[in-house]
Amino acid sequence: MSETTTAADPKKICVINGILHGHFTGSVEVVRELNALGHDVTCYVTDEFADRLNVPVKKHVYSVDVSEIVKHFPPHFPVFAVNSYKLGKATDALLTMLQEDPTEYDYYIFDAFFDITEMNKVLKLDPSKFVIIYPSFILTDENQFDPRRESGLQETSQKYNIHLHDFVGLIFTPNKYKKLLLTSKLFHIRPEDTDETCYFLGPNIENRAIDEDFTFQKDDSKKLLYISLGTIFGKDLEFYHRCIEAFKDAPDWQVLVSVGRFVNIEETFREIPENFTIYNYVPQTQVLPMVDVFITHAGFNSTSEGLASGVPLVLVPQAVDQFDVARLVEQFHAGIALNKHEMDITAEIIKQSVESAYANRETIQQNMQKITDSFQEARNNRTALYAEIFA
C-alpha cells in the first residue's frame, strides 16, 4: 500500500475471511490495511486461522471441523470433498452468526467461495454493501464447474431453502458486486474482458514468523530444487516418484520436497535418495530465497511467492485455476508449464524442464520482473482504491 493515510470517512466493515489457506492468506493484509486506515473492522474467522489474523480488530471465531464426517468418506474420495463440507458448515455458522450480529455495517467483504447471492436470501442485507475478495482471477480458460462440489453444501441448502452453488465455478460466474482482485491487471486472464467492478490490488506475500523448528540446511556446493504441489493437491504420489527418478542420480542437485499433510512419508517413500529431503510441511516463504528452481502446482499464492523471490518456475498445475496461472506465466516467458492433460510428464521431461529453467534463469528472471513490477504498481495504488471502493 502507498503511504499510510487516514480514511476521511471511516466505515464499519465486516470481513468474512476465507476458510482455506490460500484464500485466508490473501485477506490478512487487506484487513490490516483497512484497520490502519481507521476503518472499524470486524472479522469472521475460523479457529484454525484466528491466531494468524494478528491484527487488532474484532473477531468472531467459529469452527469448520469436519473430522467426524471425513471418517465416513469412502477411499479415494475427491480431494475437494473435505472443502465442500467445510464450506457447508461455515455457511451454516455464518448465516446464524450474521443474523445475530446487531451491528449496522457499511460494507461486507466476503471470500469468493461464499455464495452471497444465495446467503442473502436469508440475511436480507443491502447487496450494494457487498464486496468479494478473489485470490486470483475472475475469468478462466478452463471448465471449472463440477456439481459434485455441491455435496457438502446440500445440508445447509436444505436447512435454509436456498441453493448454494459449486464454490469453484462460482468464482467464474459473472456478478454485479465490487471485486477485490489480488493480482494486477497485467497478470490476469484476458484483462480486456474485466470491467469497472474489478479493483486490482496486487498479491499479498505474507511475512510469516520464522519457523525455528525447520532445520533444513542448504548444501552450498549444490543447486537446490524445491518441489511442492500445495496443501490441498499434494497427493500426486506418482509425480513425486518421477521427480525422485529424475534426480536420484544428479549429484549436483539437492532436492527439497513438501508433500503436504495428507501423505505418509514412511509408507510412501521406502527409499529416499541421499540428495533428497522430504517433509510434510515446508515454510515456503522462508525457503524460497535459497532455491534455484521451484516446481510448483501453480497455485496463485505459491506462484506469486516464486515470482517475488525471482526463482525460476516449472509449473505443474493440478486443478482449478492453476492451469490458467501456469499458461499465463508461460505466456510471459517467466517459467515452464507442464500440462498433465496434454502430455505424460515423465522423469526425463521433469529433469529437462528443471535444467532448462536453471540454464535460462537470467532471461526468466527479467520476464518475472515485468510481472512483479505490475504487482507493485497495483499495491502502490491500494489506498486510492480503498477510498473509491469504501466511499
Beta-carbon contacts of 359 under 8 Å, excluding residues fewer than 6 positions away, are none
Look up the pTM and report it: 0.88
Give the per-residue pLDDT at 293. 98
**What share of the chain has pLDDT > 70, as a percent?**
96
Residue 298 CA to chain centroid, in angstroms? 10
Residue 175 CA to chain centroid, in angstroms? 21
Contact 194/180 with Cβ under 8 angstroms? no
The three-state secondary structure class of 203 is coil
Q: Where are the alpha helices (DSSP H) in 189-292?
A: 237-247, 265-268, 284-287
Q: Where are the alpha helices (DSSP H) in 37-153?
A: 67-70, 80-100, 116-123
The average pLDDT across 52-56 equals 94
pLDDT of residue 1 exceeding 70: no
**228 φ, ψ (degrees, to nearest 5):** -150, 135
DSSP β-ladder status, 335-337 and 178-181: unpaired
Higher per-residue pLDDT: 118 or 265: 118
**Ranges 6-20, 97-111, 122-136: which has the least confidence:** 6-20
pLDDT tens-digit map of 359-371: 999 999 999 999 9
Helix axes 347-359, 237-247, angle to 10 degrees: 60
**223 φ, ψ (degrees, to nearest 5):** -80, 145
pLDDT of residue 253 exceeding 80: yes
The average pLDDT across 244-270 equals 91
pLDDT of residue 4 exceeding 60: no
Beta strands (DSSP E) in 206-258 are 223-228, 253-258
Residue 312 in grid coordinates: 525460476
C-alpha–C-alpha distance, residues 231 and 44, integer Å: 23
pLDDT tens-digit map of 209-248: 788 889 899 999 999 999 999 866 656 889 999 999 999 9
Contact 350/242 with Cβ under 8 angstroms? yes
pLDDT of residue 42 exceeding 60: yes
The three-state secondary structure class of 176 is coil
Q: Which residue has the cell 542437485?
A: 253
**Ranges 150-154, 181-185, 231-235: which has the least confidence:** 231-235
Give the per-residue pLDDT at 98. 98
pLDDT grade for 11, boundaries at 50, 70 and 90:
very high
Give the per-residue pLDDT at 73. 84
Helix axes 300-309, 322-331, angle to 10 degrees: 30
pLDDT grade for 62, boundaries at 50, 70 and 90:
very high
pLDDT grade for 197, boundaries at 50, 70 and 90:
very high
Give the per-residue pLDDT at 234. 58
Contact 81/166 with Cβ under 8 angstroms? no
pLDDT of residue 52 exceeding 60: yes
C-alpha–C-alpha distance, residues 304 and 372, integer Å: 8
The average pLDDT across 57-69 equals 94
pLDDT of residue 5 exceeding 70: no
**What's domain 223-374's architecture?**
3-Layer(aba) Sandwich (3.40)
The average pLDDT across 290-307 equals 95
pLDDT, averaged across the chain: 93
Q: What is the third-level CATH fold of 12-181?
A: Rossmann fold (3.40.50)
Segment (H or E) for 357? helix 347-359
The three-state secondary structure class of 40 is strand
Which one, of 238, 249, 226, lies nearest residue 302 by Cα? Answer: 226
CATH 3.40.50.2000 maps onto the chain at 12-181, 223-374
Which one, of 38, 5, 108, lies nearest residue 383 by Cα? Answer: 5
**Ranges 75-84, 89-98, 154-163, 185-194: which has the least confidence:** 75-84
